Amino acid sequence: RKGFPESYDTRALLDVLRRIKSGVEVVEAPVYSHVVYDIVPGEHVVVRSPDIVIIEGLNVLQTRSGAPEFVSDYFDFSIYIDADEPDIEKWYVERFLALRASVFQDPNSFFRFYAELSDDEAIDTARRIWRDINGLNLSENIAPTRDRASLVVHKTADHRVDQVQLLRL
């Protein structure tokens, strides 16, 4: 289930964060491609003694029962970007439609078979993906981590920030 917590190599991410946090001067991290929707075999980014590391992801605030450590254990500060679910779904459908003319055209794209859909077919497909995958993932796995963040930023339908809530320092 792509995008769900179980699809992430949490152990590898923890290893990278552990090495950075413990002061290892040169750390290699795998490269993720939004085109192929997966880790790119053999490709790495080199991180050299960073002052700041920004980790972005849907599931980085997850806590799995019984796990000895969590990705967020290595965070000094975390931000959760929040919005009302109907707005997020609308943005997803709009983005899906826009991507048909760009990344979906790439023959290596995980989503290449959506490139030639009509507008109506694309809207129906995007709504189905939202309902069966993204919306489900949001409600079951992402939204419940909101209160684990240091700061929650809420956005309105037009992407303006209307609320900022500091939960912890």
Q: Are residues 60 and 101 in the same domain?
A: no
Going by pLDDT thresholds of 50, 70 and 90, the confidence category of residue 26 is very high
Task: List pLDDT tens digits, range 47-85.
Answer: 999 999 999 988 899 887 677 899 999 999 999 999 999
Average pLDDT over residues 95-101: 93
Say if residue 120 is in the same domain as residue 93.
Answer: yes
Is-above-0.85 flag for pTM?
yes
Domain total of the chain: 2
DSSP, res 167: -
Same domain membership, residue 14 and residue 90: no
Q: How far apart are CA 67 and CA 100, in angstroms?
A: 39
Q: Which structural domain range is residue 158 located in? A: 79-166
Q: Are residues 158 and 101 in the same domain?
A: yes
Mean per-residue pLDDT, 104-116 = 90
**Among candidate residues 37, 52, 71, the one where a domain is terminated:** 71
pLDDT at site 3: 65
**Which of these three, 71, 90, 108, is where a domain ends?**
71
Say whether both 156 and 99 belong to one domain: yes
On whether both 45 and 123 belong to a single domain, the answer is no
Is residue 42 located within the same domain as residue 105?
no
Same domain, 54 and 98: no
| Reported confidence tier of residue 108, pLDDT bands at 50, 70, 90 | confident
